[in-house]
Chain A
Amino acid sequence: MIPRRVVAGLGAAALAALVAPALSAYPLTLLTQAAIIAILAMSLDVLLGYTGLPSLGHAAYFGVAAYAVGILTVDYQCSFLTCLVVGVALATLTAAIFGLLAIRAAGTYFLMITLALGMVVWGLAFRWVSMTKGDNGIAGVPRPELGLPWSLSLPLPFFYFALTATVVAWALLGLLVRSPFGMGLQGIRESETRMRALGYNVWLHKYLAFVIAGAFAGFAGVFWAYYNGFVSPVDVQLVTSVETLLMVALGGPGTLAGPALGATLIVFLKNFVSVYTKRWLLILGAVYIGVILFAPQGVLGAFKRRSA
């Protein structure tokens, strides 16, 4: 039997795909953003929700891949496939190096170290001007040419392109968290000492989760660079990392549909609010505080509690 969540997830993706042609340009743009950011939020949830590791530097891997795409397309005119492979590989490598340092620490130390490591990447993006163009960012990232009959510079084909990426990431991550490895991660979240007593290599499980989460964040970063056409230090800053945490917390940690939903809600909220008022940071700040006070288990968690 197919689990209900899979049906619901596929249903949501199919619905988005069906509605998309009827949407005007602006909501379609937001939907594309949501699809890409959903990948980032899901990848963070592998760490936060499934393994119990709150990372404050997740934008680093997203940003490394986005910068790789920016530099490779603008300076070297590389193809989509090259950019995808190099972007994800660099993000994975960064996570593999950072993970060696971060996984040694637990709890608050983990949080602070991931924050500091995330700031290293931000610092490079900001200061390594000869490579990253600093605060100005890298502009003019072209949309990819895949040899398809539809040009990806049009909003609708690009939306389908991004949605395909989301579904692929969701399917892969879904397989991962349901695999024996994924079960091991959830066991570590519940009780590290017990898993260790059972003979699990706790460090290796956490480390691999960290690297895999980084790889998928990089996957999201590749599409983000193509979508935006622009890469800047904003993509790797602390606020981006924290916003991703908020999406996971809002949607419901420990599920994949939750973070995707959280990402969609935040993307739409952010953009709609900023249309009506300049004070959207105030409102976003209030949302952070409200989520923690009133829905600590996230939207899906609140729903689950009610139906249980």
Chain B
Amino acid sequence: MRAAFWITQTFNGLSYGALLFLLASGLSLIFGVMRIVNLAHGSYFLLGGYIGLSVIWRTGSFPLALVGGAVAVALIGIGMERIFLRRLGTQTLGQVLMTIGFALIFQDLALLIWGGDPYSLPLPPALSGVLTVGELRFPRYRIFILALAAVIGAGLWLALDRTRVGAMIRAAVDDAEMAAGVGIRVPTISMGVFALGAFLAALGGVIGGGFLGVYPGLDFEILPYAFVVVIVGGLGSLPGAMVGSLLVGLLDNFGKALFPELAYFTLFAPMALILALRPTGLFGRT
């Protein structure tokens, strides 16, 4: 029974970590290329969930909900970046206030459109139910999340590491000025990365709608998790986001299971420890 507890909790933690990876990898990439701390990133997650919900109500199709939610929010992200954030340059306080302004607006618009009731995204039959192995039970949906995040993570890694565009993005992360100097269109890269980040966050939101639900306040509840992942893993690092999200997923899950009242403490104390040893995170560079 004790072994079953540990295996189940580890599985739950890893699948939650997989969801966090979708959210945090975008945040990390956006920061890497544009040095923007995007406090509206949790709002992308929430909006993705709500839009996916509306799509699935109309069409009944789960894949359409995934694509619809993610693409719609990617477009919102592009609008935010092109019209507003680009004007600010690198002044941190300005970015914080502007992105939180957007987060408040999105929160209120979501409340206006979808109301205050919590919803759960209906799952397709193929993904509902549990897989039973001996006395262990694994929800199919969580297996799906793990698999999808693994595919997306591998895809991102291949794209960044092996393609020409990926090389351009890495060049822009390392030194935007030099990258521009050798003819890379950094503004276009920035827009693309911002759209990708919003896309991934919203995808996470639709998927999260299937087991976290979608409700007002989810945006500011999930945002700190994305931040902790990025802090632990290191800003702008994809491997960092992978390791960080799995670690945070596990810590959060065991924290909630073992010390329910102090759940946040069990999440943040290890973060503090990592920071004390490596101030730029596990994979971060100075």
A288 touches B100 (CB 8 A): yes
A285→B105 contact, CB < 8 A: yes
Q: Which of B135-143, B197-205, B269-277 contacts A (4 or more CB under 8 A)?
A: B269-277
Q: How far is the CB of A134 from chain B (nearest CB, A)?
A: 9
A284 to B100, CA, bound (A): 10
| A68 to B105 Cα, complex, angstroms | 33
**B114 adjacent to chain A (CB < 8 Å):** no
Cβ-defined contact, A242 with B268, below 8 A: no
Nearest B residue (CB) for A246? B97
Query: Measuring CB to CB, which residues of chain B are less than 8 angstroms from any residue of chain A?
Result: 31, 35, 37, 39, 84, 87-88, 91-94, 96-98, 100-105, 107-109, 111-112, 220, 223-224, 227-228, 230-231, 235, 260-265, 267-268, 271-272, 275-276, 279-280
A279 at the interface (CB under 8 A from B): yes
For window 264-308 of chain A, which residues contact chain B by CB distance below 8 Å? Answer: 279, 281-282, 284-289, 291-293, 296
A30 interface contact, C-beta 8 A = no
Sorting the interface of chain A by its residue count into under 10, 10 to 19, 20 to 34 or 35 or more gives: 35 or more
CB atoms of A109 and B104 under 8 A apart: no
B92 contacts A242, CB within 8 Å? Answer: no
Are A127 and B263 closer than 8 Å at their CB atoms?
yes
Contact of A116 among B96, B107, B235, B268 (CB under 8 A): B268
Let me know if B94 and A296 touch, CB within 8 A.
Answer: yes
CB within 8 A of B268: which of A105, A117, A279, A296? A117
A108: contacting residue among B223, B235, B279, CB under 8 A: B235
Chain A residues contacting B262 (CB-CB under 8 Å) are 124, 127-128
Which residues in window 4-27 of A have CB below 8 A to B? none
Apart from A116-B271, A128-B261: 20 A-B pairs, beta carbons within 8 A: A109-B279, A112-B227, A115-B227, A116-B268, A119-B224, A123-B267, A126-B264, A239-B100, A239-B104, A242-B97, A253-B93, A281-B105, A282-B104, A282-B109, A285-B101, A285-B102, A285-B108, A288-B100, A288-B104, A289-B102
Residues of A bordering B, CB below 8 Å: 48, 54, 56, 101, 104-105, 107-109, 111-113, 115-117, 119-120, 122-124, 126-130, 237-239, 242, 245-246, 249, 253, 279, 281-282, 284-289, 291-293, 296
Task: Kindly state the separation between the CA atoms of A148 and B39 in the bound complex, as whole angstroms.
Answer: 47
Asked whether, in the complex, the Cβ of A239 is within 8 Å of the Cβ of B220, the reply is yes
- Residues in A whose Cβ lies below 8 Å from that of B235: 108-109
Q: Are A286 and B93 in contact (CB under 8 A)?
A: no
Q: Which residues of B contact A108 (CB under 8 A)?
A: 31, 35, 37, 92, 235
